[in-house]
Amino acid sequence: MNKNDVITLATEFIDNASANYVSEEIALHPGCVGMKIYETPIFAFGSVDDELYVKYKSSAIIGRHFLSPAEWLPSAKTVISFFLPYTDKIKTANSIDCCWPADEWLHGRYEGQNLIKQLLEYLVNVMLEAGYESLAPSIDKRTKIVIDKENSKFTSNWSERHVAYACGLGTFGLSKGIITERGMCGRLGSVLTELDLPKDSRDYDSIYEYCTMCGDCIDRCPVQAISFEDGNKLSLCSDFLNDIKEKHNPRYGCGKCQVSVPCESGIPIK
């Protein structure tokens, strides 16, 4: 099994998954029926020994609770990170109302994340059947969220965004999302495996290298949670998401900072 096999298997899974389309039974309105959620995924393959995983244990980044790839899977040799871009229909729909998420976006965030879980389980099982120990930390029973109320900080012992950065998939934006070659508008996932695959280069030197600091995401945020001084105040963002979930339970999401911005669908030109 090589990198192309992994990419092909994942791409075919997404293309053929019925869960990548909103069914009539769950559609929040008729216009969502049959809507495709994700386009073709993109991948980056990184080393489990990357020095960044040690740095992530600093309290200034994530914290001591962050588990390195080797702590999740001692035999791991490769970190596989992927990004699933949302379709244009989801992006366009969420660009219209500046104050409340579109139904299309709520489907993308909720049903889309359920599909990512299915993809992770599929990839792990394929590699296990091929004889390679593998796991996906985000769906592992050891995954936990750590809340630092004093500093209004929410972290976990595995961060898809930081892993994507380490693997070379993209850099952070002011809103704290990851800007990939397909932009920021989508979802991330990752798998650890003892399958030894060639590693991709990390073609950037700083965490905000792809961000132009244009400030458009500041203007797009309905609750003014983003600023040049503080980046994204996650407590304000989280409170707003709770309000949305209260109305649309179990669905939630906002994504206003990811649409109608230069980094929506690609790396912005500086």
The pLDDT tens digits of the residues spanning 84-141 come to 999 999 999 999 998 999 999 999 999 999 999 999 999 999 999 999 999 999 999 9
Return the closest-CA partner of residue 127 out of 199, 65, 191.
191
Return the closest-CA partner of residue 202 out of 171, 160, 159, 176.
171
Residue 109 CA to residue 43 CA, distance in Å, equals 20
Residue 265 falls inside a structural domain: no
Residue 130 CA to residue 125 CA, distance in Å, equals 9
The parent domain of residue 134 ranges over 3-258
pLDDT of residue 63 exceeding 70: yes
Residue 30 falls inside a structural domain: yes
Contact 251, 243 (CB under 8 A): no
pLDDT band for 149, please (50, 70, 90 cuts): low
Return the closest-CA partner of residue 48 out of 163, 179, 135.
163
Residue 269 falls inside a structural domain: no
Residue 115 falls inside a structural domain: yes
Rounded average pLDDT over 61-69? 95
In total, how many domains does the chain have?
1
Contact 37, 20 (CB under 8 A): yes
In the chain, the amino acid numbered 19 is A
Residue 267 falls inside a structural domain: no
Residue 263 falls inside a structural domain: no
Instruction: Report the mean per-residue pLDDT for the chain.
Output: 94
Residue 29 falls inside a structural domain: yes
Rounded average pLDDT over 210-218? 96
Residue 115 CA to residue 42 CA, distance in Å, equals 16
pLDDT of residue 152 exceeding 60: no
The pLDDT tens digits of the residues spanning 177-209 come to 999 999 999 999 999 999 999 999 999 999 999
Residue 270 falls inside a structural domain: no
Q: Give the C-alpha distances (Å, rounded to integers) separating 151 from 140, 230, 234, 235.
A: 27, 12, 10, 9
